[in-house]
Amino acid sequence: MLYVKIHELRKRKFKVAQIAKELKISRPTVYKYLEMTFDEARAYTEQLLGRKKKLDHYKDWILAWLEEYPHLSSAQIHDWLLERYPDLLVGGSTVRSYVKDIREFYQIEKKVIVRQYEAVPEQPMGKQLQVDWGETKQKTMDNKEIKLYFMAFVLAHSRHKYMEWQTRPFTTRDAIRCHENAFRFYGGRTEEIVYDQDHLITVSENAGQLLLTAEFQSYVNERKFNVRLCRRADPESKGMIENVVKYIKGNFADSRVFRDIEDWNDRALQWLQRTGNHQVHQTTKKRPAEVFLLEKQHLQPVSLLLSYESTNNQSITRSVSKDNTIRYKSNRYSVPFGTYQTMTENLVWIEVTGDGQQTLVIRREANGEIISEHLISLEKGKLIQNRHHTRDRSKGIEELKQRLISYFEDRTQAAAYFDEISQRYPRYRRDQFAIIHKVIQQYPVLIDTVMTKCMTEKLYNANDFRDIAHHLDTLRDESMKEVPSFYTNPAKHPPIKASTRSLNAYTSILGGRA
């Protein structure tokens, strides 16, 4: 197909450069196909298809992604491959070359948007952090669309990045929370932070005199960093963070499916570790994660909590996740089961106490009753859980068992039967008891007889219990009697004598004569 298109354009007097631009291929490729006959081009194509390449095993994935999202970059495809195949060892140049060949062979055009930036001076280590906000629209698991908001950070020297997402627009308190999380992520703060003139942090800028919002001004006074605002309509003065926002939108968020906000933030941190801070930066030609190890030593330490919040009798808030945990310093801490509620804000107040081994105190209200306390872990990625905060699953099963025992006349026998089932099927006790409970509701007059039969024959299984009850009920329906005498005490059920009619009664009914 490529051979035919090239020769058709050549017959229409297109120049080589015009053909290359029209078909989005290189000029050497055009020259090569112009010098070939059709049979030579077919043989060459078959040779290319038969040649083994490192990414051939993933070709179907790459081709499917490019056909559905033609704008994808090779860097994003590289990240998607690493996300699905973490053990894949392949360089960026190999992916770029392979993606380029697939685009040329299958004629998949890529739209490129070029934006010009002004070069900015290199910043010393620990000097500057740039911050900006962004938003995207993502497809959900049920193919709906949701709007997400994020806050991005980048260290100006190492280009080490951090981001945090939420499903609603940011408030000033949200911005402060994200600053604190970013400082914990970096292990300190820089001397100055660069912002756009956003309404969350500024009221106005009067000839260089900054007027910050009251809440953010208190925060700046506490953390003691310098605020630098960019001039309006001058994004180049913070071009690094502009590129980061674009990078996050175009690589991480583009075409990614949203499940829930906790999963989305977890995947964002994984992307930062795998791609955002690991891939070689095109300007510095270094990996941000490696340069950050040096820059981290130049950051200024920050305290765990804000003193101005303590003097105002306030605490830092945290959102309660659906699994009834909160996040603090890269770990999850449990709160009592049922703390999370739908259709509410689900905020709790936290406080750190102690000098040596510090304790995390969690309250429902700023000065309310303590609902949870945990010793703060120095590790990362751990779940610190109080066993009293989990659901007592055994309690529900025990209540169900006692309720089932109460239906039987011989409760001692029933208790022994259910204890034996619990020992034989510890993982399926609830299922076994549920089957027997259904039998009790369906055949209430037979359950004592069935229990005796099961104990006699040592049939400790709910399915056997159900089958015997069904069998006895079938026999009772067929004979229109109570349970057969060989299953019960004959003395309690004397035989029933059927009534008899004279022959004249039958001939009268049939219309005959006596």
Q: For the purposes of burial, counting CB atoms within 10 Å of the CB of 6, is it exposed (0-12), middle (13-18) or buried (19 or more)?
A: buried
Q: Which residues pair with 145 in a beta bridge?
A: 139
* Rounded-to-integer distance, Cα 510 and Cα 514, Å: 11
For residue 28, CA distances in Å to 75, 175, 243, 311 come to: 24, 52, 33, 71
322-350 per-position pLDDT tens digit: 888 988 877 889 998 878 877 677 788 88
Of 256, 232, 35, 295, give the one whose Cα is nearest residue 148: 256
Helix (H, G, I), strand (E, B) or coil at 58: helix
Cβ proximity of 5 and 25 under 8 Å: no
Backbone angles phi, psi at 351, to 5 degrees: -150, 140
Q: Which positions ≥6 away from 105 have C-beta within 8 Å? A: 2, 45, 48
What does the pLDDT read at residue 235? 53
DSSP letter assigned to residue 140? B
Band the pLDDT of 264: cuts 50, 70, 90: very high
Band the pLDDT of 158: cuts 50, 70, 90: very high
| 477 pLDDT higher than 80 | no
What does the pLDDT read at residue 67? 84
361-401 per-position pLDDT tens digit: 898 887 788 888 998 888 878 888 887 766 555 557 888 88
Averaged pLDDT of the chain: 82
Helix (H, G, I), strand (E, B) or coil at 287: coil
Q: Give the least confident one: 58-67, 139-148, 185-194.
A: 58-67
More confident residue, 137 or 208: 137
Cβ proximity of 92 and 218 under 8 Å: no
C-beta neighbour count of 206 within 10 angstroms: 8
- By DSSP bridging, strand 192-195 and strand 226-229 are parallel
